[in-house]
Amino acid sequence: MTQSVNLTEYVQAFKPVKRFKNLFLLLILVSVLFQVNSFILLEFTTVLETPKKAQSNENETEGTPIPTDVATPPTTLPATPSATPSAPTTAERYHKALHWALPITKFAALACGVLLVISLMFAGALSLLGRGSGTQQLIGAFFWSVILLGMLIPWQQVYSSSKACGALYSFMDLTQARDLFHLGQQTLADKVFFYGRFLAYPAAAFVVWLIVAFKFAGGYRKLTAAEPKPTSAGM
């Protein structure tokens, strides 16, 4: 009877751990998906492209010589009103929004990754103390969360002179890498690294994210299955 009561108490203690674990996993998923969508918008669409045709046309007209047989206009020109600053374009608004949103999502995912590791470490220790079922899956979820945290860390900012990178990045990291990629000769190795960094690597992080979620769910299911069922008052 005492063992059943202790197991019930351990299962009740797991409920807030599960609740906050779900919150951390959800914030990590939303942040990584937002960053991947930002790369797709910048690389495969023209939403973030600033219009440059007007500027190039102006440069061409400035370089063309004026024919001498055309009569010159009078020197006295009507007074023009002072130029007002033009409204920002849609691309400029997107650039400004991503300039702030990408660092925020990077910080949110990284902070939630640390908190997820702490939560699953506590869950594994609690399962060992309770000696209940599902301990193997919970310990496995903890170590996979450590791998997930290692994939989320922006290693390109820690080791700037190497090819190390993480699944999270800022808007400056994204634009600099894209400019270097498109200004270069784009060899096969460059294409593999570029698209692997911004598409395949976050996809691999998502796979690890799924492993963490399923392992914790399996361990928690076994733990709650071993909990004694409450009996009715008449029995």
Averaged pLDDT of the chain: 79
* pLDDT tens by residue, 5-29: 466 777 788 888 999 999 999 999 9
pLDDT in tens, 162-209: 678 889 988 888 888 888 888 877 788 888 888 999 999 999 999 999
What pTM does this model have?
A: 0.77
Q: What would the pLDDT profile of 71-80 be if each residue is shown by its tens digit?
A: 455 555 555 5
Burial of 222 (0-12, 13-18, 19+ CB in 10 A): middle
Each domain of the chain, given as residue ranges in start order, spans: 2-48+90-225
